[in-house]
Structure 1
Amino acid sequence: MIFQILETFTLVSGLVYIFLQVRQNRWMWPIDVLCCFAAIVVFAHQSLWASMGLNIYYLVMGFAGWFSWKRDAKKTGENGIRIRQMSAMARIGSLLGFVASFVFLYWALKVTADPSPFADALVGASGIVGTVLLVRSYLENWYVWLFSDTLSLLLCFMQGLYFMAILYLVYTAMAVVGLLEWRRDGKYID
């Protein structure tokens, strides 16, 4: 019963979070922290260790995102979507970070009771990279989220986490909306 309540809370707070993310509203970050806390408990209960660990990471990055976006808002004004141009070095670093994270997570998950180590490692590695790109306001974060959220949707559905699967379905759709809105309305900074 408690896990169903937490899963429902994660769904509702996650919907609020993604709406605010698309609008690049920095209040998304405290909502994210609450959502992640509930998701940590749900994923731990299902023994999805990488997803649980990823939500611990998201929780910590929620604080980093709050301060980063607050600083950017002071530099550029409150209104508008602020995005950064991703350099070639940042792209290479992101790819290397993804590969290193995937290899480590896959190895770690093989020695645990994780029911889907390959998929869980892919979700974990892409979530790590996607969050860094989001905190830095790179447009490319949306491409990573399209991949990660689609895979998370399938993983949650296969594990019987239907409310979480609905959340990731909405996240996937909103990643498309976010990409289009940031492309259309974004103003490059730096």
Structure 2
Amino acid sequence: MEELYRFWTAAAGNGPLEWVAVLTGFACVWLAARESLWNFPVAIVSCGLFVVVYTKATLYSDVFLQVVFIVLAAVGWYQWLYRGRNAAELPVTHTPVREWAGCAAFVAAYTLAVGYYLLHHTDATLPHWDAFTTAGSLAGQFLLIRKRLENWFVWIVVDIIFVPILWYKHLYAVSALYALYLALAVYGYVEWRRALRKNAARSLPLPA
């Protein structure tokens, strides 16, 4: 009975801070899937809260990830507003081969280098998995702020890995959040693909 009580206590979250982080985190991903600019300010709030949550869980690479996310959210806010053609809103596009290659090289290098450092110089949990999910998340966020359709593929892979890691660390509420993120990533892909097709249809020349 005592073990069951501990499980449900942990499942309820480690306190109100974790739950607020979870709810705002869900909101920002849902807003991103809907192509709403509000995803960026909500993301800044959520990431700030997760800095505290992950510090307590000794997931240091993920702490760094949240700090970078705050910076990228500010950049993405500007990109979505002003980096489209003629300073119009940025449209959804496919990822060029050079960006895929750059993201893959970054993920591999970051995972090996940071994973090694965390393993030998910190008390980090699951250092290489922690580094990989961080690198994958950075790649996914980079593609998201450039409104590349395939960012959702990256998030699907990252979320699949995050769910068991966070469960293992007894962050059950956050683990459940990443399971929802996985569903939202699929939803986001469907919505962005629809938007891409609409943009392509609008750009077709009118029949003479």
**TM-score in terms of structure 2 length:** 0.83
Matched, 1:164 2:174: yes
1:50 maps onto 2:61 in alignment: yes
Residue in structure 1 matched with residue 148 of structure 2 by the alignment = 138
Q: Distance in 2 between matches of 1:69 and 1:47?
A: 34
What RMSD, in angstroms, separates the aligned Cα atoms of the two structures? 2.0
Match in the other structure for 2:127? 117
1:60 aligns with 2:71: yes
1:1-190 equivalences in 2 (<5 Å): 4-72=15-83, 75=86, 82-110=91-119, 111-186=121-196, 187=199
The residue matched to 1:113 in structure 2 has which SS?
Answer: coil
Tell which structure's C-alpha radius of gyration is larger. Answer: 2
- Supply the distance in 2 between the matched residues of 1:129 and 1:104 (Cα, whole angstroms): 16
- In structure 2, stretches of 5+ residues that fail to align are 1-12, 201-208
Taking the aligned partners of 2:168 and 2:118, their CA distance within structure 1 comes to 17
Q: Deviations over 1:119-165 (max 9, x none)?
A: 11111110111111111111111011001112111111110001111
Cα displacement string for residues 52-101 of structure 1 (whole angstroms, at most 9, x for unaligned residues): 111111111110111111114684756xx821232221111111111112
Give the aligned length: 186
TM-score of the two chains, using structure 1 as the length reference: 0.91
Q: Please tell me whether the aligned partners of residues 116 and 128 of structure 2 are also in contact (alpha carbons under 8 angstroms).
A: no
Unaligned runs of 5+ in 1: none
Distance in 1 between the 2:80 and 2:115 partners?
A: 32
